[in-house]
Chain A
Amino acid sequence: MSQDASRRVDEIIARYPRKLAAMLPVLWEVQRENGWISPEAMEWVAARLECSPSAVQSVVTFYTMLDDRPVGKWKLQVCRTLSCELMGARRIIDHLRERLGIEPGETTADGMFTLQEVECLASCGTGPMMQVNLKFCENLTPERIDALLDELRGREPEWDDVEPLIYERPTAEEYLAMLPRSIEPAESAG
Chain B
Amino acid sequence: MSAPRILMQRALDRPADSWTLAAYEAAGGYGAVRKALDMDPGAIIDEVKKSGLRGRGGAGFPTGTKWSFIPREIDKPKYLVCNSDESEPGTFKDRWLLERDPHAVIEGMMIAAAAIGCRLMFNYFRGEFSYPAKRFMAAVEEAYAKGYLGKGIFGSDYDLELVTHVGAGAYICGEETGLIESLEGKKGMPRNKPPFPAIEGLFRSPTVINNTETLAVVPWILEHGGDAYAQYGPEKSHGTKLWSASGPIRNSGVYELEMGYDLMTFLEEDLGGLLDGFGLKGIIPGGSSVPVMTPEECRGARLDYEGLRERGSLVGSGGFIVIGDNVSAVQCLLNLAHFYAHESCGQCTPCREGCGWIQQLMHKILEGHGTQRDLEQVLRISDNMAGKTICALADAMAWPAVAFVKKYPEEFAELLTGPVDLDAIRAAVGRVDHILPKAS
Contact = CB atoms under 8 A, between A and B. Distances in A.
Contacts of A83: 89-90, 246-247, 321
B89 A82 contact: yes
A120 B88 CA distance: 7
Interface in A165-190: 169, 172, 175-176, 179-186, 188-190
Given A122-B92, A182-B326, A59 B186 contact: yes
Interface string A114-141: 0000111111111100010011100000
A66 to B, nearest CB: 5
Contacts of B88: 120
B182 A17 contact: no
A120 B369 CA distance: 28
Contacts of A86: 246-248, 321, 323-324, 327
Contacts of A7: none
Residue among B184, B335, B336 with the highest chain A CB neighbour number at 10 A: B335
Residue among B89, B343, B415 with the highest chain A CB neighbour number at 10 A: B89
A22 B165 CA distance: 9
A181 B368 contact: no
A59 B185 contact: yes
Interface in B100-145: 120, 126-131, 134
Contacts of B168: 24, 27-28, 63-66
A20 B186 contact: yes
Residue among A49, A63, A176 with the highest chain B CB neighbour number at 10 A: A63
B246 A24 contact: no
Contact of B188 (A62, A122, A135, A180): A62
A128 B179 CA distance: 28
A79 to B, nearest CB: 9
Interface residues of B, number: 69
Contacts of B367: 185-186, 188-189
A62 B187 contact: yes
A46 B328 CA distance: 48
A85 interface: yes
Contacts of B321: 82-83, 86, 124
Contacts of A65: 127-128, 168-169
Residue among B130, B185, B203 with the highest chain A CB neighbour number at 10 A: B185
A123 B134 CA distance: 17
A124 B92 contact: yes
A122 B95 contact: yes
A70 interface: no
A185 B335 CA distance: 14
Nearest to A22: B185
A157 interface: no
B382 interface: no
B203 A17 contact: yes
B186 A185 contact: no
A63 to B, nearest CB: 4
B173 to A, nearest CB: 9
B128 A183 contact: no
B128 A122 contact: yes
Contacts of A69: none
Interface string B84-104: 001111111011000000000
Contacts of A23: 185-186
A172 B186 contact: no
A24 to B, nearest CB: 5
Contacts of B131: 135-136, 162-164
Interface in B353-402: 366-369
A15 B169 CA distance: 22
A3 interface: no
A152 interface: no
B128 A131 contact: yes
B158 to A, nearest CB: 18
Given A24-B185, A58-B187, A82-B288, A183 B328 contact: yes
A127 B156 CA distance: 47
Residue among A22, A58, A119 with the highest chain B CB neighbour number at 10 A: A119
B407 interface: no
A87 interface: yes
B163 A189 contact: no
A55 B184 CA distance: 12
Interface in B179-217: 182-188, 203
Query: Closest 8 interchain pairs by CB?
Result: A189-B368, A23-B185, A63-B168, A125-B252, A124-B246, A64-B169, A20-B185, A65-B169
24 contacts: A17-B120, A17-B203, A24-B127, A24-B167, A24-B182, A62-B170, A86-B323, A119-B89, A120-B87, A122-B91, A122-B92, A123-B95, A125-B92, A125-B253, A126-B252, A131-B128, A134-B128, A164-B131, A172-B277, A179-B326, A181-B326, A182-B326, A183-B327, A183-B331
Given A25-B165, A82-B288, 8 more contacts: A24-B168, A62-B187, A64-B169, A124-B89, A125-B254, A135-B131, A180-B326, A185-B367
